[in-house]
Structure 1
Amino acid sequence: MTALPLRAEVRRQLSRRRTLVVFAVLVALPLVLVAAFALGRSDDPTTARGFVDLAQDSGANLVVFALFASTGFLLVVVVALFAGDPVPSEASWSSLRYLLTAPVRRERLLRQKLVAAALFSGAAFVFLPAWTLLVGGLAYGWGPYVGPTGDQLGYPLVLARLGLVVLYLALSLGVVGAFAFFLGTLTDAPLAAVGGAVVLWIVCAILDQITALGGLRQGLPGHFAFAWADALAPTVDYSAMAQGALWSVGYAVVLVAAAVWRFLRKDVTS
């Protein structure tokens, strides 16, 4: 029998309370948004309409606003939780040393943990827009997506564009998961790994506001976080998304390699 099969790791992560909490929050988010719009409805005309102003135009518009509202923090925390928690949790439960003597090779353990983290993060990225589209469609109808400039995208084109948005989010936030995973190989405290990745994102967001850094800001994680909005234009401009994805993938490869190198040489005493 293969030691530590992926299905066993997936079942293990499914049973975790933090997994249930994450998806409960994702379930609640579009419901809270619909309730908030119902309570705070305003008939005042606006000259410039953004994602929030257009959120009630259709289910697709609510999806876009939900992604816009969650990109800067909520999805960051979700990815950090799924990637940064598994390894230090095993250490805090005093089961990491047992797993490594089962025997499970260290590189295999890291691979299974990383693959499971990617699967759950990907599931969250797909679930949020899919569930929000259902809630938004029932609340606001199934009309076309209406952009801030008045351009419209009908079905099934808007679904394809939302798929592109989800793919870009998964790539651009990969740096968060990779950094959380790296920190998870350095500490036995899950909160330190998760919190460290979130703090990195926040610090980079602050630095990104310093215009004196000039072109250096393009190399900061999160600089292209909202480039996915280009995918919703009538004609897609891939340049910003390509840069954001390349930076994120590059950082992720280096950080995952560093995590493997460190863990293979770590004296596991937990």
Structure 2
Amino acid sequence: MGRTEKLARANAAVDHGVHTDPAALDELTDAATHESMDVGPDGAVAGYKAGRTLRLGVELRRQLKRRRTQLVLGLVALLPFILVIAFEIGEANPNRRTGGFVDLATASAPNFVVLALFVSGTFLLPMIVALFFGDTIASEASWSSLKYLLATPIPRHRVLRQKAIASAILSIIALVLLPLVALGVGVIWYGAGDAISPTGDAVAFSDSVLAIGLAIVYIVIQLAWVAGLAMLLSVLTDAPLGAVGGAVLVAIVSQILDQITALEDLRDYLPTHFSYAWMDLIATDIDWTRMANGALSATLYATVFALLAARRFARKDITS
């Protein structure tokens, strides 16, 4: 007897006041439940596919509509203009050919981009990555919406993966937006001249733009450890600010320890020790050793943090 026929007989029995034994009622109720939910013999709802849940495009649109995302991207785009105003108010010499990266910032557009990346690398860029990754799972938990996502049902590993990918895309957008805007602003104010390194090397504009592109790639890879740590903290706490602040605090402490020369070779194991290795690209003779070490270190840290985050989230008791 089919489920539809069983359901019809159950309804008829109820309408006519017919008493049915409990076992039969359970069978009819089960048939009614399966009929209403269209559940297959394997227990899965017909048409359900885990791969169709929490689509990346939907998650990205939702994140882009959030005020914090818009403010972060707006701040990143505004920073180069703030730097230009600061140099215009001050007494910057556009013809300077010696000094540090700050002194050479107004020498050309590439130098201005280098300065923008240099001043934002200590706090702003790690904070942006920590914000996007640390706010993922923790914010859903703080809104008490995480349990509903998992009850949809969306597999836990997919929730974590989709949110991590969305956060990575937003972080890359921010990290690319800053040098792009800085390059455009620099060309307008300071011209498309050669990039001048503190050692006096002059790198052609086309070569310096390529070097800036490689520097962006390196910065994205190097900040992967911040992303992994922020994601781990995001699954450990229901407080988004705690996850974001914790990752930023670790980055700051690591930078402080890196300044202590008494630690000697131990500083090589700090995740921020090679943060500025990309500056070696602004030279005629590039040494790739520090960049290779920095990329390897960041990848190892990011992998460990990501695996711990996945393991913890898979076993976590979701109550909010």
Number of equivalences? 270
Per-residue deviation, 1:210: 2.2
Which secondary structure does the structure 2 equivalent of 1:143 belong to?
coil
TM-score between the two structures when normalised by the length of structure 1? 0.96
Which secondary structure does the structure 2 equivalent of 1:225 belong to?
coil
Aligned counterpart in structure 2 of residue 141 of structure 1, from 187, 191, 195: 191
- Say if 2:92 and 2:106, in contact at 8 Å, map to a contact too: no
Out of 140-149 and 121-130, give the one that drifted further. 140-149
1:198 aligns with 2:248: yes
Per-residue deviation, 1:48: 5.1
Q: Distance in 2 between matches of 1:180 and 1:154?
A: 38
Per-residue deviation, 1:212: 2.4
Q: Distance in 2 between matches of 1:19 and 1:235?
A: 39
- Quote the residue 1:40 is aligned against: 90
Q: Deviations over 1:18-47 (max 9, x none)?
A: 11111111111100000000001156x989
1:26 corresponds to which letter in structure 2?
V
Q: Distance in 1 between matches of 2:260 and 2:71?
A: 35
Q: Distance in 1 between matches of 2:112 and 2:92?
A: 17
1:245 aligns with 2:274: no
Which secondary structure does the structure 2 equivalent of 1:103 belong to?
coil
- Say if 2:228 and 2:305, in contact at 8 Å, map to a contact too: yes
Aligned counterpart in structure 2 of residue 154 of structure 1, from 193, 198, 204: 204
Q: Distance in 2 between matches of 1:36 and 1:24?
A: 18
Ranked by relative contact order (alpha carbons within 8 Å, sequence separation 6 or more), the top structure is 1
Deviating above 6 A after TM superposition, structure 1's stretches of 4 or more consecutive aligned residues are none
Q: Distance in 1 between matches of 2:306 and 2:88?
A: 44
Per-residue deviation, 1:108: 0.3
Out of 146-155 and 114-123, give the one that drifted further. 146-155
Q: Distance in 2 between matches of 1:52 and 1:11?
A: 38
- Quote the residue 1:26 is aligned against: 76
Change beyond 3 A, Cα 1:228–1:22: same
Q: Distance in 2 between matches of 1:214 and 1:155?
A: 37
Q: Distance in 2 between matches of 1:126 and 1:209?
A: 28
Q: Deviations over 1:239-264 (max 9, x none)?
A: 00111110110010000000000000
Q: Distance in 1 between matches of 2:97 and 2:287?
A: 26
Q: Distance in 1 between matches of 2:167 and 2:68?
A: 13
1:70 aligns with 2:117: no
- Say if 2:98 and 2:104, in contact at 8 Å, map to a contact too: no
Q: Deviations over 1:40-81 (max 9, x none)?
A: 1156x9895111111111111110000010111110100100
Out of 150-159 and 21-30, give the one that drifted further. 150-159
1:126 aligns with 2:173: no
- Quote the residue 1:171 is aligned against: 221
Q: Distance in 2 between matches of 1:106 and 1:42?
A: 54
1:10 aligns with 2:51: no
- Quote the residue 2:110 is aligned against: 60
Which secondary structure does the structure 1 equivalent of 2:103 belong to?
helix
Q: Distance in 1 between matches of 2:97 and 2:173?
A: 37
Q: Distance in 2 between matches of 1:159 and 1:36?
A: 24
Runs of at least 5 residues in structure 1 that lack an aligned partner in the other structure: none
- Say if 2:111 and 2:195, in contact at 8 Å, map to a contact too: yes
Q: Distance in 2 between matches of 1:56 and 1:194?
A: 34
Aligned counterpart in structure 1 of residue 283 of structure 2, from 226, 230, 233: 233
Runs of at least 5 residues in structure 2 that lack an aligned partner in the other structure: 1-48
Per-residue deviation, 1:211: 2.1
- Quote the residue 1:216 is aligned against: 266
Which secondary structure does the structure 2 equivalent of 1:54 belong to?
coil
